[in-house]
Amino acid sequence: MERTFVMVKPDGVQRALIGNIVSRLERKGLKVIAMKIYRIPRDIAERFYAEHKGKQFYDGLINYITSGPAVCMVWEGHEAVSVVRAIMGKTNPAEAQPGTVRGDFALHPGRNAIHGSDSQASAKREINLLFNDYELIDYRRIDAEWLVE
């Protein structure tokens, strides 16, 4: 099973989209193994978005992601990274398909409600940045045998 990091960004929290987003991931068959509401400190935000340092939008991104609470989660499942990416939709909501989180709820690329890891390497880095090992709960879902061969 693969793990991935998902964040309901501050705009998604403020717009009361947490339940909808969690529900979509659960209905797909993914399993949440960690979740917390968290106001991301600036130093962690800077490490989280380090790859964008020096880009024109970097300061605004850091200010935005630290501006209010976010819901940080770790999800597990078969090909979890690509499954979550498909559920999220394209970064630019104008290009996101209806039925995706961004296609249904976002109007602007900078306020697109959700973040999900773009690779297994990113997932590992993001999970390690925002969660301790003891926060990741290992358990078996009762419906697991009906979800994956």
**143 domain-assigned:** no
Q: Residue 3: its pLDDT value, please?
A: 98
114 and 102 Cβ atoms separated by less than 8 Å: yes
34 and 14 Cβ atoms separated by less than 8 Å: no
CA–CA gap between residue 112 and residue 102 (Å, rounded) = 6
**141 domain-assigned:** no
Residues annotated as catalytic (active site), given as ranges: 115
Q: What CATH number did the domain enclosing 75 receive?
A: 3.30.70.141
Confidence of residue 4 (pLDDT cuts 50, 70, 90): very high
**112 domain-assigned:** yes
Half-sphere exposure of 3 (CA within 13 A, CB side): 18
CA–CA gap between residue 118 and residue 22 (Å, rounded) = 18
**120 domain-assigned:** yes
**149 domain-assigned:** no
What is the pLDDT of the chain when averaged over all its residues? 96
Q: Is the pLDDT of residue 148 over 90?
A: no
- Domain housing 102: 2-136
Q: Which residues pair with 2 in a beta bridge?
A: 77
Q: Residue 70: its pLDDT value, please?
A: 98
Percent of the chain scoring above 90 in pLDDT: 92
Q: Which residues pair with 70 in a beta bridge?
A: 38
Report the sign of the C-alpha dihedral through residues 91, 64, 117, 48, in that order: positive
Mean pLDDT throughout 76-90?
97
pLDDT in tens, 87-127: 999 999 999 999 999 999 999 998 999 999 999 999 999 99
The structure tokens listed for 54 are: 């020096």
**93 domain-assigned:** yes
DSSP state of 27: H
**117 domain-assigned:** yes
Counting the structural domains of the chain, the total is 1
**71 domain-assigned:** yes
